[in-house]
Amino acid sequence: MSELEFRPGLADVPCAESAISYIDGKRARLEYRGVAVETLARESSFEETAWLLLKGDLPSQRELADFDDRLRHHRRIKYKLEDLIKCLPETGHPMDALQAGVAAMGMFYPSRDVSNAQSNWDSVVRLLAKLPTLVAGFHRMRNGDHPINPRDDLGHAANFYWMLFEREPSPAQARVLDACLILHAEHTMNASTFSARVTGSTLANPYTVISSAIGTLTGPLHGGANEEVLDMLDEIGSLGNVRPWLEHAVATKKKIMGLGHRVYKVKDPRATVLQELAENAFAESSRPAKYELAMELERVAAGILGPKGIYPNVDFYSGIVYQSLGIPTDLFTPIFAIARVAGWLAHWLEQLKNNRIFRPEQVFVGKTDVPYLPLGKRP
């Protein structure tokens, strides 16, 4: 029997040293390069936050202007890549289309020499700029519509909204969508980030690195929880059914989507600030019925599950926000990827600085010294 300690899922096993983000689950603290995520969501932009994650410090006015200009310049995709997306099944999931599109991008922009800092930065800019175009383009084309060209006069989040609907978001809508991107941009060593670092450790090109991370995010245990929150709220149905539904769910040990987190033992700080910014967007029309349901579920759950350290995480409200913006449910996880690519790329660049290929050990539990029995003698 092996003497190695086996921890399923590598639970609590450090796999890298990182200076990118920090979580204190007991104090509801998430920081990007030392800056509180709530501050970034309220005061910053996704473009500035991406620079912070990638470079390590907040940009100067000139640096941010130049970075923003480059992102706007690289939003368009090659027409052959657009043709490839047109050939994908209309019934396919947008995450699969995004993964295929990103992998194909690597053929248009060969970047095999990851020791070339300038080439790496060019790839970073292209991936940040083009992922929204891929997602919006596939969504339009699967519905039989032509993709909408990006607009250089709109910010990152507002331009994505434009490419989806061919209309500009209101300032409040653009702001809450931008905040969603900021809040999902990075979250320490989660499954998709680990996948990116493992792939990056082989010195694979950055498009392959991000494609592998997107593939990991497609799994329902990682991305997609906000979709399941909406299904759960539909199942609850009414304010009067919240308490009996929750009590039954707890009694039968049913998983309650959007509540609880492996790291946070208090309310996720991302959920708190997202709820605050969502109120501004809801004020332009009216509060969605699901939002009222979610707030009541949070209130009731605080008394039942709060003592166990189970509180809302960011997925609890993000799906409601996306739905209020008119965004289809199956685009929720691709939007997660549009945001998280900033964190993935930051980890990829950090991995390359002091790289060592990942080669973990296993605990072998199979047979040994099994004799080979010729085929004719087998029963």
- Positions marked catalytic: 261, 315
d(CA 280, CA 45): 17
Q: How many CB atoms lie within 10 A of CB 336?
A: 26
Closest CA to 210 of 102, 358, 110, 107: 102
d(CA 136, CA 158): 12
Instruction: Give DSSP secondary structure letters for 58-81.
Output: PPPHHHHHHHHHHHHHT----HHH
User: Which pair of structure tokens corresponds to residue 51?
Assistant: 């620079």
Three-point CA angle 99, 232, 307, nearest 5°: 105
DSSP label of 239: G
Closest CA to 157 of 44, 65, 66: 44
In single-letter form, the type of residue at position 136 comes to: A
Asked if 74 contacts 367 with a C-beta cutoff of 8 angstroms, the reply is: no
